[in-house]
A and B are shown apart, each in its own frame.
Chain A
């Protein structure tokens, strides 16, 4: 049991007392206690929010190997990487030529075909099949699909046109189709991610 000899007045609340001529010891205790609790709250909240980030099993799906030996020039395949579509396209010589002909400085997102492919593998255009506007899957990879005015891809959602290098040429898409990190393990197997 507490043994307080003086009657405690309700107005003894140290919080409302105006500060006169410097700080009191209790101010230090208050600040120290609240700061300590604040650090504790931050340390607690971090894992409680971080648990929403991709979990280990999701991250484990983050690289795939694709056999591209069966893709003839002019063909493309769709595959899935991190639950998102990937377009792997074997460009024909005229398509490469057309992509290189473009004046890069006039593009919305200036990039050459060489910057979007790997050295010696300029015919392999590997991009995410995700329109950079709002995330639909553009047409043009499968046989018979509309390829848009520039012969690459066409997004039916809001009418974005991509050229044979997967660059945005017309419509609302702000950037070129994203090129994921990838490497050729052999001439016919590519590792994405």
Chain B
């Protein structure tokens, strides 16, 4: 499914032709990532983070498979086996630091990718399915990252596992049995560690599968663009290769500079020192926080300190935390504005930059801070605003906002000259 002016795949060699008649992998690549995929000519740098997230997923899978060659998923020796990787295995320290920081870079890329979608309305028709699959990828990535953090079996690993599985305990009636089922015991131990390792190895491949569907769905309508205006003619597009392969390639190089700088010069900056203390089921660290990429959701969880009607605070916090992400599944139908790009929505733009973004930043800050005032109050206000943005502000804005006039075409937006319809 592509535009009629897309370049056609022509095998360059006789062998290529022979393959194309039997297993057209070359054609698939050509039409997905090659010259056969016409892409809007006006994509800005916010369109670089999808491919970047993909690169970091590959980094995670490659380094992860290597770490699994040296790691032992056994509560007695897991911690020691990680130290063995750090001290004894050739370049093991580097591979582990690449994996630990790679997770952070994957989430940086994925958050900017999601933010791009939120601002430019990439979730709107006809791209709802791409968005929904993206939310699934994000949920899977969160589960994978959480279980990976448990594997070193340090203090943060252990207490993270205990707290997160404790969330399920909040479910009325069946909560306790569910938690015991997840852990295979009454507290995290060998059974939990082994199943977390098994799933931590499995889920990235599930993510890769969902990414294939995500890209497949993307290639039906083609990429969105900063104007949000549909592609109308050949002049509005450039072939993906060499234009965006080159741009993505250079951007990956740039990102890898930051990644390696982090990996070699401040490898533990995003980690928590307590995770270098072996797991101790009898002593909780004084200040327990998840990894930074979970902080906003963790703040929402802790914002609920009061019972409401008959619902206990514990359950409310859990429900709110899950709802904060699940609300994204309804986003394409909450934001009814026909204008995709925030560039042409004066009020939406203000609510986005001065409402939603600061709100998530505050939640992130509070999630990493101790559970005391003023952070609890700030979390409560920011949580309220977060839900208001999706459930009240976006639906209302779609009704009352008067968007700015859209350009007639991408080409006109870029060059100021009208699009000459070729065909």
Contacts and interface: CB of A to CB of B under 8 A. Distances in A.
Interface of A: 1-5, 7-8, 10, 13-15, 33, 37, 47-48, 50-53, 55-58
Question: A2, A15, A52, A56: which has the most chain B beta carbons within 10 Å?
Answer: A2
Contacts of B241: 13
B5 A55 contact: no
B95 interface: yes
Nearest to B226: A1
Contacts of B63: 48
A34 to B, nearest CB: 10
Interface in B83-122: 84, 87-92, 94-95
Given A55-B84, A55-B92, 14 more contacts: A2-B41, A2-B414, A4-B41, A7-B235, A8-B41, A8-B238, A10-B234, A13-B239, A37-B249, A47-B95, A51-B89, A55-B90, A57-B84, A58-B88
Contacts of A1: 42, 44, 226, 413-414
B13 interface: no
Contact of B95 (A14, A51, A53): A51
A10 B95 contact: no
B414 A3 contact: yes
Given A13-B239, A15-B242, A56 B88 contact: yes
Contacts of A14: 242
A50 B66 CA distance: 11
A131 to B, nearest CB: 29
B89 A55 contact: yes
A13 B30 CA distance: 14
A57 B88 contact: yes
B69 interface: yes
B35 interface: yes
A189 B62 CA distance: 47
B160 to A, nearest CB: 27
B270 to A, nearest CB: 21
Interface residues of B, number: 36
A53 B90 contact: yes
A30 to B, nearest CB: 9
B66 A13 contact: no
Contacts of B42: 1-2
B87 A10 contact: no
A51 B414 contact: no
B7 interface: yes
Interface string B236-254: 0011011100000100010
B423 interface: no
A45 to B, nearest CB: 10
B interface majority secondary structure: helix
A58 B411 CA distance: 64
28 contacts: A1-B44, A1-B414, A2-B42, A3-B415, A4-B41, A5-B415, A7-B235, A8-B41, A10-B7, A10-B35, A10-B38, A10-B239, A13-B239, A13-B241, A13-B242, A47-B90, A47-B91, A48-B62, A48-B66, A48-B91, A50-B90, A51-B66, A51-B69, A51-B95, A55-B84, A55-B90, A56-B87, A58-B88
Nearest to B42: A1
Interface in B306-348: none
Given A51-B89, A55-B88, A13 B95 contact: no
Contacts of A37: 249, 253
B207 to A, nearest CB: 21
A4 B88 CA distance: 54
Contacts of B7: 10
Given A50-B90, A50-B91, A51-B66, A4 B415 contact: yes
Nearest to A9: B234
A9 to B, nearest CB: 9
B91 A51 contact: yes
B242 A52 contact: no
Contacts of B243: 8
B42 to A, nearest CB: 5
Contacts of B90: 47, 50-51, 53, 55-56
Interface string B242-286: 110000010001000000000000000000000000000000000
A8 B420 CA distance: 13
Nearest to B233: A7
Interface in B389-423: 411, 413-415, 420
B84 A47 contact: no
A4 B414 contact: yes
Contacts of A50: 90-91
Nearest to B92: A51
Nearest to B12: A16
B66 A10 contact: no
Contacts of B44: 1
Nearest to B422: A7
B69 A52 contact: yes
B52 to A, nearest CB: 16
Contacts of A8: 41, 235, 238, 243
A25 to B, nearest CB: 15
Contacts of B234: 7, 10
B94 A47 contact: yes
